[in-house]
Amino acid sequence: MKLYNSAMPAPNPRRVRIFAAEKGIDLQLEEVALMKREHKSEEFRKKNSLGQTPVLELDDGTTISESVSICRYLEELHPDKPLFGRSAVERAQVDMWLRRVEFALMGPVGNFWRHAHPYTAKVVKQFNDFGESNREGAEAAFRWLDRELEDRTYVIGDYFSVADITALCTVDFAAFAGLEMPEGTPHLHAWHARVSSRPSAAA
């Protein structure tokens, strides 16, 4: 298998790298330089018509896009140390939290990045007022997540999952984009320190 990867700060390829590291899976990485627009090339679009990374290419040439879909495939191949839940309830909770983090936090962070950051001004038409308006949404999401983490070690409780991986990559990407975790969110900060200390976070 080969993973078409993009280096930090790209959050979605990092999700897969962390997931694979937690599983002990050694993936061959093929770097795709976003700043050089390699992901938008005609050749790469044959692997993912949306022109996005990551993409997992199997030995028979089959390609899988979308980070969560790639992680689900890896989970099927390597079910030990499950990261999508250990029971029906946990699997539902992990799925719920994946969607919550993506919608509630990754949504405003992504909108800010696309429409208010100088890096993306070079490649997309920006609506700066809209982009800046997402600062408030991101801060609200940070504070909501802080409240949820008040009595939990990890996002769904005492169990580290792909929901934590997604949240970590989103929080770190938000910081790169200029949206730091706000003051007065001690539970969020403690969780972030906890998950960042895992060896896989360096993947």
Between residues 8 and 185, which one has the greater pLDDT? 185
Alpha helices in the chain (DSSP H): 11-23, 42-45, 67-77, 88-100, 107-116, 128-148, 162-177, 186-196
Q: Nearest 5°: CA angle at 114, between 63 and 96?
A: 60
pTM over the 0.75 mark: yes
Residues 92 and 191 in one domain: yes
Last-in-domain residue among 29, 55, 77: 77
What average pLDDT does range 126-155 have in this prediction? 96
Which residues lie below 8 Å from residue 130, measured CB to CB, with a gap of 6+?
A: 111, 115
What strand order describes the sheet that includes 55-57?
28-31, 2-5, 55-57, 63-65
Cis before 54 (ω within 30):
yes
pLDDT of residue 126: 84
**Do 43 and 101 lie in a common domain?**
no
For the chain, what percent of residues have pLDDT higher than 90? 90
Q: Assess whether 108 and 181 both reside in one domain.
A: yes
Helices and strands in the chain, H and E counts: 8, 4
CA distance 164 to 73: 18
Q: Band of the pLDDT at 34, cuts 50, 70, 90?
A: confident
Q: Is 100 in the same domain as 6? A: no
Asked if 59 and 154 sit in the same domain, the reply is: no
- Report pLDDT for 118: 81
- Nearest one of 23, 72, 56 to 203, comparing CA atoms: 23
| Gap between the Cα atoms of 102 and 69, Å rounded | 14
Q: How many domains does the chain have?
A: 2
Region 35-60: mean pLDDT is 94
Determine the pLDDT at residue 91: 97
Domain of residue 71, CATH code: 3.40.30.10
Residue 56 pLDDT more than 90? yes
Residue 35 has pLDDT above 90, yes or no: no
Q: Do both 95 and 60 map to the same domain?
A: no
Task: Tell me: do 101 and 185 sit in the same domain.
Answer: yes
Q: What is the pLDDT, as a whole number, of residue 140?
A: 97
* Pairing label, strands 2-5, 28-31: parallel
Q: Which two tokens stand for residue 198?
A: 């895992």
pLDDT of 82 reads 98
179 CB burial (10 A radius; 0-12, 13-18, 19+): buried
pLDDT in tens, 100-121: 999 999 999 999 988 988 878 7
Q: Does the pLDDT value for residue 193 go beyond 90? A: yes
61/93 same-domain check? no
